[in-house]
Chain A
């Protein structure tokens, strides 16, 4: 083999290996990358620009985490899981990758909400079960929509948005999401909400962001509660479930004074928690990990529960 050929073989093989390693790395960290991507998961295209709360959970990663394994050891009977498997052929552990949900101001004082499930579904079976439960199937904008009327919640609907993506919510929100999927007006065009995403910690496999001003517009919060939070403008909470638990809660006050007040309140809460857990070693580690930070209008509370502390916590809860 000539030197030229050897160089080519090494170069091409190197490129191949490099690509495979990069892809593998991205695969292993795929959901974490999705969780913190500036553009957000691809399902954002179905979330309206005026959404007040958006939440995401990487079900697959959580289900595969050590924390989940510990919980399973404590409570091995996954009754609900088995039922889903039996009736819908849905294995939550393996069939659902992630979930994205949002709330947005609806009509007549009722919030509009939608949950999007990304995974592998037996659509025929899902539809069959729904039909058996009295649901009807219609086509809306080329999508099959399964809906059922409910006195309490109005019409509930399920739609197969695209292969591997199922959306569940009230009928009008589902229909709006279908139309939105083919337009460019979605949550990514809302700079405030996208800015809140920046507060989500890198590597989080569950998070939620919301704007309090808009929360009041949802109409479902009691006035008393709304009145207690006039100083809070927005929040971002994120967590990572793996060997242990870690996460942070970021709150944005309406102004710097509100931010200072929030930090004072949280500081007081931390002191109280510390006092009350002096004789609870299983909680001590978690309380010790609580860190308060922030400046200006922001207050951030972060925590980290290592795996051994988590074991202690779970075993004590099991005993109780």
Chain B
């Protein structure tokens, strides 16, 4: 069997008295792997250990066969898109991605060219010379993706890459991630939304309370998910017109309004997301700015799983 992309052997991580990860042993194989778990489950801790930002309190983590902690040379083959929405706000997208890829040893010219290509890949070339501070949430997510892929890494680690994106950008990024998987790259992508993960891969790691609960094919837990309602919050120009369109959808169980947004509870998330993407693409009901999903529903699934 080939060397796993990521090999965690009895890894634990404590933050003082708080346990972040608890005795995890798992191998991540090439292709796209989803890391699914509610907020606070330990996803980010696991990804930070994989990307060498944290050192395991116990156990070992190897990436591409090498220990990652204190091994900066390995970052030539690793790209990371963090969860946090943090940037050098005064720089333009092009300046930022160029500056970061220069740290990979590229010359100025090569770095600029690679940055342009990366921004083009994530659909941000038109906004390359705009300051990041002026980017929308979706654009900020995409520029983070651009810096992760700009040096053409073998392994991509993406922490909640779709958070806050509008449906169209979400669909395109999902397509990108699947494409990278097909190209032979290893992609580890985290989310607390099963539907997102499912749209990218069928290989998942279920994590909760710092433990890996399950690993394997997504279909095994698919039915469980369907028994629990899925909540989607949509920020849009005209939430009321959107709500009117959703009422006719047979999976929708309830609708509530918040300032500039509508919150939908649906029993058929796949069909609902399909309809939402169509509406956003047509633009007939105004612009859809952001789609997010609280993890209460997933939490319920996990509570059921650990019973």
> Taking the complex as formed, is B64 at the interface, i.e. its CB lies under 8 A from any CB of chain A?
no
What total of chain A residues lie within 8 Å of the partner, measured CB to CB? 1
Number of inter-chain CB pairs below 8 Å? 3
Please list the 3 inter-chain residue pairs (A to B) with the smallest Cβ-Cβ separation, ordered nearest first. Answer: A2-B95, A2-B91, A2-B90
Residues of A within 8 A of B95 (CB): 2
Chain B interface size, as a band, is: under 10
Residues of B within 8 A of A2 (CB): 90-91, 95
Which residue of B is nearest A3, CB measured? B95
B window 161-186: CB within 8 A of A: none
Interface SS majority for chain A: loop
Query: How close is B6's CB to chain A, nearest CB, in angstroms?
Result: 36
Query: How close is B136's CB to chain A, nearest CB, in angstroms?
Result: 22
Interface SS majority for chain B: loop
Query: How close is A8's CB to chain B, nearest CB, in angstroms?
Result: 13
* A/B interface sample: 3 pairs, CB < 8 A: A2-B90, A2-B91, A2-B95
Where the two chains meet, the residues of A that have a C-beta atom closer than 8 Å to any C-beta of B are 2
Which residue of B is nearest A5, CB measured? B90
Q: Contact string, B87-131, partner A, CB cutoff 8 A, digits 1/0?
A: 000110001000000000000000000000000000000000000
A2 to B91, CA, bound (A): 7
Q: Contact string, B123-156, partner A, CB cutoff 8 A, digits 1/0?
A: 0000000000000000000000000000000000
A154 to B91, CA, bound (A): 80
Query: How close is A3's CB to chain B, nearest CB, in angstroms?
Result: 9
A257 to B95, CA, bound (A): 81
Which residue of A is nearest B88, CB measured? A2
Residues of A within 8 A of B91 (CB): 2
A2 to B95, CA, bound (A): 8
Residues of A within 8 A of B90 (CB): 2
Query: How close is B129's CB to chain A, nearest CB, in angstroms?
Result: 11
Which residue of A is nearest B95, CB measured? A2
A2 to B89, CA, bound (A): 12
A177 to B91, CA, bound (A): 65
A150 to B90, CA, bound (A): 80
Query: How close is B100's CB to chain A, nearest CB, in angstroms?
Result: 14
Query: How close is A260's CB to chain B, nearest CB, in angstroms?
Result: 76
